[in-house]
Amino acid sequence: MQHFYFDHNATSPVAPEVLRDMTDAMAEVYGNASSIHFFGQAAKRRLEAARRAAAARLGCTDREIVFTSGGTEADNLAVFGIARKPTRANRYAITSAIEHPAVLNAFGQLEREGVEVTYLPVGSDGRVQMEDVRRVLRHGTTLISIMHANNETGVLQPITEIAAMTRGANVPFHCDGVQVGGRLPVNMRELGVDLYSISGHKFGGPKGVGALYVRKGIDLAALMHGGHHERDRRAGTENVAGASALGRASSLEFDWSALGELRDRLENGILSRVPGTRVNGNTEFRVPNTSNIRFEGIEGEAMVIALDLRGYAVSSGSACSSGAVEPSHVLLAMGLSAEEARSSLRFSLGPGNTVEQVDGLIDAVEASAAHLRRISPAVLRPAALSDVKA
């Protein structure tokens, strides 16, 4: 049986040209980029070329790029790098309730370190509201961190509007751009943020390498203590092959915005053929590759397994911790009940998905939903669906 991948927000396959670039770099450029000899200088040149490529993709200068071990480290470097700077008051920071754990749990740690944190709510459409930002932003706020697009719903946040407000208030603004940077065109100057995280494995690069954009003039406390790498912002011998791969992935031609048509075909197909379905989140402000759909009366995990058995990989968005399936904190923040959150699925498209695969997935979703509703106790079935035939 063939298997088809519709889980690109979890991770995306490494593009063949990126893989070649990375293995070439590993084989040929093995010097330590800090060494002054021929081999070190070759590694340094490769690293700096990658930095220029990443900077070009983000519309910033190469000096503003700090390579990290991934999106999680980029997020942590931004949050702690700002909040732990000794010159800062370190008392009050803002984020949203729908952030990825890489940001959310970093803010949890800040709270344990004595920082007061406001977690902004979102509307039922999954967006942070500007009135709320305005209400909670105080003079002297240490940091605000709001993601660009949510990984579960794909909903885009009002980043340029928030940036205009934080600039006026002189508050550092970090944006977790892991689901956008490298995929869709972004420009740091136009976006107006001070810090922006990206992760290689979301856009055709390998896992374990990412970058943080740090606007010129923003001073960061280091998270790692060691050598003077990355202009004292990230100690550790540079991962030249990983960085080179991220740079190569930054210049891939694949047009993620063209996925909107395929995503809409999938979404409309499911909504029209499967009763009791609806889209979670704003459909106007959304990245083009993601669709989060609720299936009334169906356990999301059961659906993931049923679809996997038919050859389609999707995600339920809920996290399995200590054996229990926790409903998604993102969907709960949008006002869904725990049961509604548990009955939601995330479809995320990427390079390689075709019309044929999408049509096959719609068939598989229709068949799986009908099957699961048939075998679930009648009491769990929504009244409107009680006539679904066996």
Residues belonging to the active site: 320
Closest to 118 measured CA to CA, from 143, 150, 84: 143
Q: Which helix (H) or strand (E) holds 197?
A: strand 195-199
Minimum distance from residue 143 beta carbon to ligand PLP (Å): 16
- In the complex, least distance from residue 384 CB atom to ligand PLP, rounded to whole angstroms: 34
The residues binding ligand PLP (CB under 6 A) are 70-72, 75, 100, 102, 147, 151, 176, 178-179, 199, 201, 210
**Considering beta carbons, is residue 199 or 292 the nearer one to ligand PLP?**
199
- CB of 259: closest distance to ligand PLP in angstroms? 17
DSSP 281: S
Specify the residue, 199 or 357, whose C-beta has the smaller distance to ligand PLP.
Answer: 199
Shortest distance in whole angstroms from residue 331 CB to ligand PLP: 15
Residue with the CB atom nearest ligand PLP in the bound state: 71
Whole-number Å distance between alpha carbons of 17 and 372: 41
Three-class DSSP category at 286: strand
Structure tokens, 382: 């929504």
For residue 249, which phi and psi values (nearest 5 degrees)? -65, -30
Q: Which is nearer to ligand PLP, 133 or 246 (CB)?
A: 246
Other beta carbons less than 10 A from residue 99's beta carbon: 24
Provide CB contacts within 8 A for 103, sequence distance 6+.
Answer: 75, 79, 95, 145, 147, 176
Nearer to ligand PLP, 72 or 277 (CB): 72
Q: State which residue, 148 or 373, has the beta carbon closest to ligand PLP.
A: 148
Q: How many angstroms separate the CA atoms of 319 and 39, rounded?
A: 45
**Residue labelled with tokens 């010129």:** 216
**Minimum separation from the CB atom of position 199 to ligand PLP (A):** 3
